[in-house]
Amino acid sequence: MIADELKREIEQGVYAPGDKLKSVRELEAEYGVARNTASAAIRQLQALGLVEVRAGSGAYVRHRNQDVSLSEDLPRLRAELAEVQDQVRRTKVALSKAERALGEIVERLPPEISAD
């Protein structure tokens, strides 16, 4: 969750190349998570090539390589799209189940309550 939000902020330009991200302690406090969880989020961004971690200094947004062509970026974009499509599908299924359950509950209510 933390890594996804920071990634989104980097991609939207909230953090520009060269900007320092919040410290692990700041992320820990902001999200109410353990220190190792906040550290894992930074490591995940590092693995994606979005940040550079400087020992004793923090994590900094990396400059995107302007030479990367669309054909090199396309497989990653397709994978991200497939992941989002899957999330939407799962959400639709969960919503449908919740609507059915709600309908069943409403049907079991006495008429004087369900009419409101």
Q: Give residue limits of the domains in the chain.
A: 2-61, 70-114
pLDDT confidence bin for 112, thresholds 50/70/90: confident
CA distances from 106 to 51, 96, 101, 110 (A): 51, 15, 9, 9
Supply the CATH classification number for the domain 2-61. Answer: 1.10.10.10
User: Which pLDDT score, from 0 to 100, does residue 68 have?
Assistant: 47
Q: Could you tell me the pLDDT band of residue 5, with boundaries at 50, 70 and 90?
A: very high
Q: Longest Cα pair distance anywhere in the chain, in angstroms? A: 68
CA atoms within 13 A on the CB side of 5: 9
**pTM score:** 0.54
Note whether 107 and 99 are within 8 A (CB): no
Whether residue 67 has pLDDT greater than 50: no
